[in-house]
Amino acid sequence: MTAGTQSRAWFERARAALPGGVDSPVRAFRAVGGTPIVIQGANGQTIVDVDDRPYLDFVGSWGPLILGHAHPKVVAAIEAAARGGTSYGAPCRAEIELAEQVVESYPGIEQVRFVSSGTEAVMSAVRLARGATGRDLIVKFSGCYHGHVDHLLVAAGSGLVTFGKPSSAGVPADFAGLTRVLPLDDEAALDALFAAEGDRIAAAIIEPVPANNGLLMQRPAFLKALRAHCDAFSALLIFDEVITGFRLGPGGAAAHYGLVPDLATFGKVIGGGMPVGAFAGRRELMRELAPEGSVYQAGTLSGNPVAMAAGLATLDVLRESDGWQALDERGRYLEQVIGEALRESPFPASLARIGSIFWIALLASAPPRTAEAVGPASGKAYANLFHSLLGQGIALAPSAYEVGFLSLAHSRADIDRLGEALRVALADANPGEPTDDQA
């Protein structure tokens, strides 16, 4: 689909004033081609561009908007909080209440510190893990994303896979040299790394439900093996629950798998659409943080009263309305509807889903478990699919590697609409030929 004249004009201005026209790279449509739509507003399950075209939205701001856009209770909470002052630089009631909710909800957690993004949460949790263990090495898994933290913008090097090399300019090789990168779904690789270097590892960090390279569902046995290796070598296990925290349920992926990490990171849903991140752990670990301990960490806007109010209102609505169960039911319905559409696809396509998170894996007859198993050819097929859906008034994320999100604002009728549009799009999405719109 071609962006409208207003979107084109605004994006022209954007390209002059913002690098690439955006503040976060994937928004620029580079992975799918064409000009991004520029947004003027959103409500419920609908997002509207500056040409007044509405789209049924399955991006949900990349995960935070579990109630849909501009939920009245969240908007009211933000308004009320803002009237009382937008920032104090001092403790406030809302941050204490939200911290208590995290502690009550998430397994093994006794204390929380709030920050302003998921990246900041991960960066601080890694520093805390290093400070608490006195070790430097960090283990990450190929296909997991943890924000743009220097030590985690690291890809598997060639040859011996575990040694990291920077995946972004500006990250010193010396930083990447402290990161080890392992494939997902591979106990043998875990055994080998921990046997060789286990006593130098501060922490292993993983998205227990990897949802940033498609949705790479892991075998519970693999996650259990990771927990066991960390225990055996007194390394910490960090669950990055920035997507899954308070989306899969109040206990996140930890409760889903019955595994307790040493530290967990949060973002997205916990801020109800405002900039919030958090990291949390047992008191004995968290007290290593300044002012009690020697690991420095701080933030002018951390625990911001307006953002905390949005997070609290979001969790209130989820609890009051049995939201997580409703989302899972809707997810099951989506699995059925999309499953039917995919069975008619002219090329192989499959669906991965957990709760309200879903991913359509093109050119794969079963959803992959590792980043390495996601074929590069799926990108072109996805670009065609994406533009066909956008032309039919449905917004998925502009990249084959991004998942879709359901919110409580999505009805069964919305999911039916997605299923019908998907049938058309799959028929259009000949993986061999890009459509004219992307030229």
Ligand X SMILES: *Cc1c(COP(=O)(O)O)cnc(C)c1O
Give catalytic residues, as residue numbers: 145, 240, 268
182: helix, strand or coil: strand
The DSSP annotation for 125-165 comes to HHHHHHHHHT--EEEEETT----S-GGGSEEEPSSSTTBEE
122 interacts with ligand X by CB under 6 A: yes
User: How many other CB atoms are found less than 10 A from the CB of residue 228?
Assistant: 14
Stretch that binds ligand X, among 117-125, 128-136, 228-236, 347-355 (CB under 6 A): 117-125
* Residue nearest ligand X, Cβ-based: 118
CB nearer to ligand X: pick between 24 and 294? 24
Q: How far apart are the C-alpha atoms of 54 and 142, rounded to whole Å?
A: 36
Distance of closest approach, residue 405 Cβ to ligand X, in angstroms: 11
CB nearer to ligand X: pick between 170 and 291? 170
- Which single residue is written with the structure tokens 């805390």? 128
Distance of closest approach, residue 98 Cβ to ligand X, in angstroms: 16
243 interacts with ligand X by CB under 6 A: yes
Residues 348-407 close enough to bind ligand X by CB under 6 A: none
H helices of 198-304, in order, are: 220-232, 252-257, 283-286
Distance of closest approach, residue 314 Cβ to ligand X, in angstroms: 15
Residue type, position 219, single letter: R
The DSSP annotation for 339-360 comes to HHHHHT-SS-EEEEEETTEEEE
CB nearer to ligand X: pick between 92 and 153? 153
CB nearer to ligand X: pick between 140 and 380? 140
Distance of closest approach, residue 40 Cβ to ligand X, in angstroms: 23
Strand duo 201-206 + 137-141: pairing: parallel
Q: How far apart are the C-alpha atoms of 340 and 217, rounded to whole Å?
A: 21
Distance of closest approach, residue 262 Cβ to ligand X, in angstroms: 17
Q: How far apart are the C-alpha atoms of 123 and 147, rounded to whole Å?
A: 9
Looking at 162, 179, 212, 356, which residue binds ligand X (CB under 6 A)? Answer: 212
Strand duo 201-206 + 179-182: pairing: unpaired
238 interacts with ligand X by CB under 6 A: no
Contact 307, 64 (CB under 8 A): no
Looking at 35, 46, 101, 119, which residue binds ligand X (CB under 6 A)? Answer: 119
Q: How far, CA to CA in Å, does 382 sit from each of 124, 214, 435? A: 35, 12, 11
117 interacts with ligand X by CB under 6 A: yes
Q: How far apart are the C-alpha atoms of 179 and 172, rounded to whole Å?
A: 12
CB nearer to ligand X: pick between 1 and 215? 215
Stretch that binds ligand X, among 116-124, 125-133, 193-201, 303-311 (CB under 6 A): 116-124
263 interacts with ligand X by CB under 6 A: no
Residues 54-93 close enough to bind ligand X by CB under 6 A: none
CB nearer to ligand X: pick between 47 and 264? 264
Q: List the structure tokens of 193.
A: 């790394």
72: nearest Cα among 313, 323, 247, 271: 313
Distance of closest approach, residue 254 Cβ to ligand X, in angstroms: 14
CB nearer to ligand X: pick between 212 and 218? 212
CB nearer to ligand X: pick between 57 and 240? 240
| Torsion, Cα of 210, 20, 397, 43 (10° steps) | 120
Cα angle: 147, vertex 7, 419; to 5 degrees: 70
118 interacts with ligand X by CB under 6 A: yes
Stretch that binds ligand X, among 14-22, 187-195, 237-245, 354-362 (CB under 6 A): 237-245
Q: Which helix (H) or strand (E) holds 277?
A: strand 277-281
Distance of closest approach, residue 271 Cβ to ligand X, in angstroms: 9
Stretch that binds ligand X, among 86-94, 101-109, 236-244, 284-292 (CB under 6 A): 236-244
Residue type, position 378, single letter: S
Encoded one letter per residue, x for contact with ligand X by CB under 6 A and - for no contact, window 274-303 reads ---x--------------------------
**Residue 421 DSSP code:** H
Distance of closest approach, residue 137 Cβ to ligand X, in angstroms: 20
Stretch that binds ligand X, among 118-126, 218-226, 229-237, 297-305 (CB under 6 A): 118-126
Q: How far apart are the C-alpha atoms of 351 and 359, rounded to whole Å?
A: 6
Looking at 206, 242, 341, 396, which residue binds ligand X (CB under 6 A)? Answer: 242
Cα angle: 247, vertex 257, 132; to 5 degrees: 90
CB nearer to ligand X: pick between 55 and 405? 405
Contact residues for 47 (Cβ-Cβ < 8 A; gap 6+): 39, 41, 54, 55, 57, 59, 69, 395
Residues 130-149 close enough to bind ligand X by CB under 6 A: 145-147
Interface residues toward ligand X, by CB under 6 A:
117-119, 122, 145-147, 207, 212, 240, 242-243, 267, 277
